[in-house]
Amino acid sequence: MRPLQAKINLSALKHNFGVVRGHAPQSRTIAVIKANGYGHGMLRVARALEAAEGYAVLNVGEAVALREAGFKQAILLLEGFFSADELPTLAEHRLASVIHCQEQIEMLEMAGLPVKINVFLKLNSGMNRLGFRPEAFGAALQRLQAARSVGQITLMTHFACADEVQGIAAQLACFDRLATGLDAPRSLANSAAILRFPQAHGDWVRPGIMLYGSSPFADTSAVSLDLKPVMTLTSAIIGLQDLPAGEAVGYGATFRAEQPTRAGIVACGYADGYPRHAPTGTPVLVNGQRSRILGRVSMDMLCVDLTGISGAGIGSPVVLWGEGLPVEEIAAAAGTISYELLCALAARVPVVEV
């Protein structure tokens, strides 16, 4: 059997949920488990986070799968429903929906549903992605309050720069200006805001990346935030090459040895979800010792430097990210973010719970 696998540490997942609780003890938690639980397995993550009061997913299919698996918590559709045909399913399975455009309100006004649907009315407070602009927010709220198919209304926004130097001040001020005096629950904080801006915690927090043990901040490590990696991507050395000085390795000959170099071939490539654009020098652990990638990542394999790695040979264990090697480091080397790497884990990679 090919040695590549992703190990999912459920104890670490529960620990990270405890960090959320510690930062926002007065708020209820909607655990964001879209994108197949950020690559960790949606149902697996939901089971481990049964203490959460709610889950957030992308679409109706994911939400129904949670209900059919027996989960009773609130379930929120982060992009809402996409057609009126989905509304009966929302009512049947008691699914909550983000409302971000006039067309969704019109569908609700026209629907004759047997039960009311809880909604999260989204304010576009500055991200300019989804949501009602401030001048349209009040009218949207009034229409939802009058709609017979609408139950509880929660006021919601999403921060664009909670992980950046500029922070959330302008967006929070916009939200507070419109929400002041309104008797409705509030949901604002993503992982970065949970950790840095307690004034934005509100009634519901929406942790995502921090649950999976990765820092939402480029300048702050997960370890310093007491977050533990949940996914560890491991493999092994399956081939060896001794490169004389001047010889290259891999497609495009992008790495050429300046001195005699012992290279190891690892069973992992971009078809498994490892970033093809990770350059020479991207860190890797071999036999628990820090080393580096050499040359271009292939579809099924990549090459690592074994020079000076004691005891390295065929079968030596390799950690590509996770325990002992933060996924943020790999992402930074590859010019991306940890979210992308975790979500990109390929279906062909075996997943085991530890």
Distance between CA 321 and CA 324 in Å, rounded?
A: 8
Amino acid identity of residue 62, one-letter, is E
**Is residue 221 within 8 Å of residue 1, measured between CB atoms?**
no
Q: Which of 7, 34, 122, 228 is catalytic?
A: 34
Is position 38 annotated as part of the catalytic site? no
Reduced to 3 states, what is the DSSP secondary structure of residue 133?
coil
Q: What is the dihedral of CA 2, 34, 17, 51, to 10 degrees?
A: -110
| Spatial CA neighbour of 227 closest among 15, 48, 51, 39 | 15
CB 310 within 8 A of CB 320: no
Among candidate residues 14, 38, 55, 251, the one labeled active-site is: 251
Q: Which residues contact 45 (CB under 8 A, 6 or more apart)?
A: 13, 31, 33, 37, 38, 211
DSSP for 298-312?
Answer: -SS-EEEE-TT-TT-
**Positive/negative CA dihedral, 81, 82, 85, 89:** negative
Task: Please provide the DSSP assignment of 93-119 as one string.
Answer: HT-EEEE-SHHHHHHHHH---SS-EEE
Task: Please state the separation of Cα 62 from the chain's center in Å.
Answer: 15
Residue type, 127: M
Catalytic residue at 55? no
DSSP symbol at 212: G
Backbone conformation region of residue 110, classed left if phi is above 0, alpha if psi is from -120 to 50, else beta = alpha
Residue 74 host element (H or E): strand 74-77
Given its phi and psi angles, is residue 27 left (phi above 0), alpha (psi -120 to 50 degrees) or beta? beta
Q: Which of 20, 15, 64, 16 shows the shortest CA–CA distance to 42?
A: 64
Q: Which residues are catalytic?
A: 34, 251
